[in-house]
Amino acid sequence: MKRARLWSYMGWQARDFAFERGAPLLIVATLMAFPVIMELRKIRPAISTTGQAHSLVVSGILEVLSQFSFIAVLIGINGIVSNDRVRGYYRFLFAKPVSIPRYYAQAFVVNGAGLAFSALTVMVAIYAFGYPVFLPRALLMVALAYVSLGGLGFLFSTVARFDWVLMGGTWGLAQVLRAVYPAPQSRAGRVLDVILPPYHRLRDVSLELAGGDPTDTRTIAWLLGWGVTAFILGLIILRRRPLAT
């Protein structure tokens, strides 16, 4: 019996992440961070001594990081499985003694680490060039977004060619249904509230988490549960469903 050296292969997966997703992440990071940094540089002398202004600046930075983490997750997870299937790369990779679910589970972890690194880079850039505040708790926000949203993206990537369309469609449909059937008012709304992905709560909870405020642990568990469940379902599908179509 000879098994693939997947642990050693992690370096190559990290390299793939950097080469394939690094450029779009860099562009998004620059587009989002650059105006913030320029604005912070302008107002920094005036606000550095004022407590309330400082809090406002921190909230603003967290808001930007929250938006960045959301977009970064979409970039980081898109096509994680489906690209290999559509392009036929799987034919060579999995003729080797490789466990397909393990291979992609590892890719999920590597991409998550890559996203954390990119968020850290944005934070360091803001700290160094914009405003001297470093917010390591913002990494928790990225992790929460990655596990909850990324888990669903992973599941979609195992079953569909255009996983980003499904991702966007699910998000949009959930928003519409929640608006049409508000949870407390109708019975349908209460049922839908449990069934639909709870991403409408992601932003608020993320900001609470990153800001060090008291957090709604039940909602965090709900978000993480959705992501982890979807991720595990994706692994089961990879184990049971053949890769060719």
Partner 1 sequence: MDELRSARAGADAASSGVIAFDSVSKTYRSLFRPPVRAVEEFTLSIGRGEIMGLAGPNGAGKSTLISLLLGYLPPTSGRVTIDETSPRPYIERNGIGYLSELVTLNPQWTLEGALERLALLAGIAHPLASQRVEAVIDELGIGEHRQKKLKALSKGNLQRLGLAQALLRDEAILILDEPTHGLDPVWTQRFRDLVQSLRTPTRTMLIASHNLDELERLCDRVAIIDRGRLQRVVDTRRPVATDVASLYHLTVTVGAEHVPAIFPGARSLGQGQFEIEPGDAAVLNRRLADLLARGSLITALIPAHSRLEAQFREAVRSAGGNA
Judged by the rule CB under 8 A, the positions of this chain that interact with partner 1 are 1-6, 8-9, 12, 16, 19-20, 87-100, 242-244
Looking at the Cβ atoms of 116 and 243, the one nearer to partner 1 is 243
Q: In the complex, what is the shortest distance from the CB of residue 119 to partner 1, in angstroms, rounded to a whole number? A: 25
Of the pair 105, 119, the CB lying nearest partner 1 is at: 105
Query: Which residue, 84 or 163, has its beta carbon nearer to partner 1?
Result: 84
Q: Quick one: 84 or 226, whose CB is closer to partner 1? A: 84
The least CB distance from residue 84 to partner 1, in Å, is 9
Work out how close the CB of 160 gets to partner 1 at its nearest, in angstroms, rounded to a whole number: 14
Minimum CB–partner distance for residue 97 and partner 1 (Å): 4
The DSSP string of the chain is -----HHHHHHHHHHHHHHHHHHHHHHHHHHHHHHHHHHHHHHHHHHTT-HHHHHHHHHHHHHHHHHHHHHHHHHHHTTTTHHHHHHTTHHHHTTSS--HHHHHHHHHHHHHHHHHHHHHHHHHHIIIII-S---TTHHHHHHHHHHHHHHHHHHHHHH-S-HHHHHHHHHHHHHHHHHHS-TTT-HHHHHHHHHS--GGGHHHHHHHHHHT----HHHHHHHHHHHHHHHHHHHHHHHHS-S--
